[in-house]
Amino acid sequence: MNPAGSGIDRLKSAARRAVRGALDPMVVLLARMGVEPDHVTWAGLAITCAGGACFAVGRFRTGALVALVGCLMDTLDGGLARAKNCVTRWGAFLDSTTDRIADAALFLGVAAHYAQHPLALLRNEDRLADLLLGPPAATALVRDGAAEALFYALLALLAMVCALLVSYTRARMEGVGLECRAGWFERPERLVVLLGAALFGAAAPVMPWALAVLVVLSSFTVVQRVTYARSRLKGSA
């Protein structure tokens, strides 16, 4: 057994228990009100997508707080299902599917924010003049700024693809009857990095670095899971 992996697993389990314990009073209240778990799931998705929309318009701090509420509701739906003794395969399927949509909305929001920068140049007469008619130094500055923003937008899209692959590899393993026991950088960790970076604001240089970390660690987790699956599934079908 890997002591480091075991330590990370224990830490993650403790964090989950702490969050669930803090949300237990809300779960009890929702159960008494007759709220269905599916309703909480859909509401959480809508709120998280609203957070992604905030990212798109450059309101990173607001988006992070809004998305955090949506993510906490994603924890509530499972607790509510257990409290009402109505845990179903449909609920698990819906929860997993809406999680993927919510993740995509957040990453697309970040990508949209950065992709808007080159378009803003076309609406700013002074910057456009610098690009087309200005001295070489001013032209290079504007061009490099646009290229940098496009790179960050592509980095956000790559981070989204890697995140979806992490989830897909787990779902595919479970689909062939193999319990996923590999890879520690999952959705909660991704959200901590993404939302934590967003709290620094759109003007801070933190988000691009966070996107790079997300790409690297998500890719590493995908490799871990592919390697684990190969070691367990290699042979005749």
99 catalytic residue (yes or no): yes
> CA distances (Å), 130 to each of 108, 134, 140, 148, in order?
30, 4, 9, 17
Q: Cα–chain-centroid distance for residue 133?
A: 41
Cα–Cα distance, 221 to 229 (Å, whole number): 12
Cβ within 8 Å of residue 125, ≥6 positions away: none
Cα R_g (the chain), whole angstroms: 21
∠ Cα 18 24 28 (to 5°): 175
Q: Which helix (H) or strand (E) holds 158?
A: helix 136-175
HSE toward the beta carbon, residue 103, CA cutoff 13 A:
26
Instruction: Give, in degrees to the nearest 5, the angle at Cα 192 between 227 and 95.
Output: 70
Structure letter (DSSP) for residue 84? T
Looking at 74, 95, 99, 103, which residue is catalytic?
Answer: 99
d(CA 203, CA 196): 14
Residue type, 39: H
225 close to 180: Cβ distance less than 8 angstroms: yes
Active-site annotation, residues? 99
